[in-house]
Amino acid sequence: MDDFPDVLARAQHGDEAAFTVLFRTMQPMLLRYLTVLAGRAAADDLAAETWVGALRGLVKFRGNESDLRGWLITIARARWVDSVRAANRRPEELTDAPPDLEAPDDVAAAVVERAAADEALALIARLPAEQAEIVTLRVVAQLDVAEVAEITGKSANHVRVLCHRGLRRLAQLMPSASVMPALATTMDET
């Protein structure tokens, strides 16, 4: 977003149109991250709670667009952790087997056919919880290693290792080369 500082400033002064621009820029990333963490059904509610929390601090926020992404992710992660604790369940239990995602083979096929974000996220969600979150933060939220390390409370080295492991695992989950042309064609169109 070229005019991010201006849009942010107007949103901080109550300009609804400017906030709409920010929301439409950030919400897809936020929903995808929360979908990988908690499943699609819970992502909408967690995203709504995230925005309420963000709006309370919006006036005082200072930073660039990447900072805003990291800030929203930090809030979203806190809401997710709170929701898991409230349910007396461990986060791994949610992310290891997302209840509303398709079986991996079906997901892989769907990615090839439609190359849609939802299916790709479902594939990422098949990773172990830590790897899934970090791959999502690196790829979907476009945060660098240092930002991911700060958000997740891990060392930068640990983040790199988990990300590489996750990507290698994803490479194994990807469909065979025989269907590559269809996938490449779909991606070219996007």
Partner 1 sequence: MNLPEQSRDVDGLSAVALDRLLADVAAGQEPAAGLGSLYAMLRAASGPAEPGAQPGESAALAAFGQIVPVRRMRRTPVRWLSESKTRLAVATGAGVLFLGGGVAAAATGSLPDPAQGAAHAVLGAIGLHVPDSGGDNGSPGNGTSGTAPGQTGAHPSPRPSGSTGKPEHPVHPVLPVHPSMPPQSGHSSHPTPAATPTHPVATPSHRPSPLPTLHPHNH
Interaction with partner 1 in 65-124: which residues (CB under 8 A)?
67-68, 70-71, 74-75, 77-78, 81-82, 84-85, 91-92, 111, 115-117, 119-121, 123-124
Among 1, 21, 154, 156, binds partner 1 (CB under 8 A): 154
Q: Which residue number, 9 or 99, has a Cβ lying nearer to partner 1? A: 9
Give residue 188's Cα distance to chain centre. 23
> Does residue 179 contact residue 108 with C-beta atoms inside 8 Å?
no
Tokens describing residue 102: 């398709």
> Does residue 33 contact residue 71 with C-beta atoms inside 8 Å?
no
| Contacts (CB under 8 A) with partner 1, residues 119-148 | 119-121, 123-124, 128-130, 136, 138-140, 142, 146
User: Is residue 21 involved in binding partner 1 (CB under 8 A)?
Assistant: no
User: Is residue 34 involved in binding partner 1 (CB under 8 A)?
Assistant: no
User: Is residue 51 involved in binding partner 1 (CB under 8 A)?
Assistant: yes
Among 1, 21, 27, 109, binds partner 1 (CB under 8 A): 27
Output the CA angle 52-53-56, nearest 5 degrees. Answer: 90
How many Å apart are CA 23 and CA 30, to the nearest integer? 10
Give residue 160's Cα distance to chain centre. 17
Minimum CB separation of residue 80 from partner 1 in Å reads 9
Output the CA angle 101-116-102, nearest 5 degrees. Answer: 15
Minimum CB separation of residue 99 from partner 1 in Å reads 18
Residue type, 128: P
User: Is residue 14 involved in binding partner 1 (CB under 8 A)?
Assistant: yes
Minimum CB separation of residue 158 from partner 1 in Å reads 10
